[in-house]
Structure 1
Amino acid sequence: MLKTYLKFITIVFIITILTSTVGLAEIPLRVVVNGEKVNFPDAQPFIDENGRTQVPVRFVSEALGANVDWNGDTKKVTVTLNSRKVVLTIGLKTYEINNQTYQMDTVALLKESRTFVPIRFVSEALGATVTWDQNARSVYIKFDPTASPPPLPTPLAGTTKYYDGIAFNDVTDVDQYGRMSMDKTKEFVLKLANQLSFIKENGKYYIKCDYPKIPEGYNWSLGIKIFNKDGSYITYSPITRVPDCQIPREGSFKKEATYIKNVNNIRNFSIGISIVNSQMDNTGVLDILYYMDGSEKWVIFVPYISLYREEKYTDSFDFKKMFQW
C-alpha cells in the first residue's frame, strides 16, 4: 500500500513539473503580413530592451513587396516601397522617410549576421498598419498597395548651426547616446587635420594649428608624438606636465618645438585627433602616421564602436602641407 502511495505521489510530482515547464515555455513571436505568416529560416524575431519587436528586415520587407538595400560601409539599410523610402542606420534612433528625419525610441541592430529593425516603425513608415496581439505574441501587418498611404508624422527639426562651414544639427547629428554622430565627427577631425601643420621659420621649428569651432559641450583632443631614431619621443598635448610641450585645446596657436634641433634625427610623427563630449566617450579618432623618409604614412579614422570599419583618407590627404620641417 505504501509503495503504491509513493508511486502515485511521484507520478503527480513529475506531472506537476512537466505542466509547470510547459506553462513557462515562451510562445515564439509570429509576424503575419496580410494574413500570411512570415517564415524566418535562421535568425528569429525578438523583443528588445525597449519593448519593441525586432525582425530581420529582408523577410518582412519582401513580404510587403518592398525592395531592401544594405550598405555595409555606412551601416545603413534602405527599404523602398512605392512612394516611400525608409533609411535606418545601425545604432541610431534617428531614421529617414523620403529624406525627412524622424526618431524612434529604439534602434536597428546587427545580430546573427542579420539586420534587425523595429517592425512597427518600418511598416508604418511604408504605409502599413500594425497590430500587436500580446496573448498570441503576434504582429499583424496589413498593407493595401492600392490605397493612399497615411500621412507621415511631423519630422524632427532640431537646430542647425554652422561651425567654420560645417553644419551641425543638435537632433539629427547625434547618436542614441547623445554623442556627435560618427559621420559628423569625421567632418570636424578632417578639417582640423587640414589646419594643423609643422613649419620652419628663421631656423626654428613650430607647430601651427587653427582649431575649427565645434558645438557647445564638445572639446578637441589633440595629441602629437614625435619619435626620434634612437627610440625616444616628445609628446605635445593640452595635458602635460612639461610646459614647453603643452598646447592649447581651442583657438589658434603657433608653438615653438624647442626640443627639435635637427629634423634629421626625427623618425616619424604620430597624431591623434578626436572630439570629446564632456559627459561621455567619443565615437572615434583620426590617426595620422608619417615617416620622414616617406617609407610609411596613413590617415585613418578608427571608430570606437566595433560594428564599424576603419575609413582611410591616405590617398587624398596633403602630407606636404602638414609636414614642412
Structure 2
Amino acid sequence: MKKVVNLMVVVMMLTVMMISTVTAETYVTVTVEGETVDFPDAQPFIDANNRTLVPIRFISEALGGQVSWDGDLQQATITYDKKIIKLVINKKEITVDDQVQVMDTQAILKDSRTYVPVRFVSEAMGANVEWDSTNYIVYITLKRDTVDLKEMANEEIIQQLQEYPYLENDYTKRIENHEWLVNRYDENKVKEFVEIGKNYMETFYNVDYRTYNKTEYVEKLKWFFLENSSWTADDRIKRDNEEHINYWADMITKKQISMHTEFITDETCIYTNGDIMIRGRMNYIIESCNDMEWLKNYTRYGNVELGKKYTCVVDVELANFAGHSEEKWKTAERLVTDEHFITPIKEVK
C-alpha cells in the first residue's frame, strides 16, 4: 500500500512540475497591424480564466489611445477616438461611453502594472482580434473607417476638435482651458503657442525629397527642440534631438519621401495639463516613399497607403525648459516634447 501511495505522490509531483514547466515556457505575442508590440518590462500572460491579459498602457498606446490612472478609485481610463473606456481593478465590468459590459475575466494589478483582457479592450477601441491558440499569438487589426471632410469648413472642424476630452496628466491631475491660459499669459502669447504647434507639424511633416534643402530644413526643425535633450520615435529608438533631426532629414532623401500636410487649429484649441497642449486636425497625404515598412515603424503616420488622403486628431505637447537660452541654437519659447494621437488615422473620402 505504501508503495502505491508513494507512486501516486511521485506521479502527482511530476504532473505539477510538467504543468509548471509548460506555463513558464508559454509566451504570448501580441501584434497590431502586423507589428509585434514591445512589452519591455511587463509581459502578457494567460490568466486562470484562459484569457490573455496585457499591460494596459502598452496595448492602448499601440492602438492610438491614451491612458490615465486614478489610484483612489483603482480605475484605468482609456481615451480613444471620442470614446471613454474605464476598467476597475478586480472588477469584471468594462464601461464604454457610460455603457457597462461584463467581461468573463477581470483587470488586475501585477508587479505594479495594470493588466487588462486584450480582447475586450481592443474591441472596445474598435479593433478586430484573432487568437492563434497553437502559437500563442494575438492578432489585432484596426478598423480603418473613412470620414468625409470635404464639406466641412475650418470653423466646423475647430468646433469638432473641442468636443474631444482633454488628456489628463498622470501627475498633476489638473486641466485648464483656453480661457484660463489667456488670463494667465494674454491672448497674443496664447496665439504664439498655437503657432508653434501648428508650424512644427507643418514643418516636420511637409517634405519633398526632390526639392528640399537639407541644411535649411534642419535649421528650421532645430527651432522647435532643445539641444541637450532626446526624442524617442515610434521605432522606440531614443536619439538626441540633433541626431533625431538629422536622421529624419537623411531618410527623406534615402527613402524618397514626399508628404504634404496641413494642421488645422486655432487659439481655442489650446489647453494645459501641466504642459501646453495644442490640439489640431492633421490632414495629410504621402505621395512618395520607397520603404513604407520603415516609415510605418518610424512614425504612426506612415501606417497608410501611398496616394490616399488621411486625417487624425493630434495633441502637440509643448514644454517650458528654463535655461534653454544657453543652448547653441536659437529655440522657441515653448519646445516640442511629444505628439499624442487623440483619434485613429482615417482615410478621407
Same fold per superposition (TM over 0.5)? no
Q: What TM-score, normalized by structure 2, do the two folds share? A: 0.35
Which one has a larger percent helix, Structure 1 or Structure 2?
A: 2
Question: Of the two structures, which has the highest relative contact order with CA contacts closer than 8 Å and spacing of 6 or more?
Answer: 2
Larger Rg: 1
Which one has a larger percent strand, Structure 1 or Structure 2?
A: 1
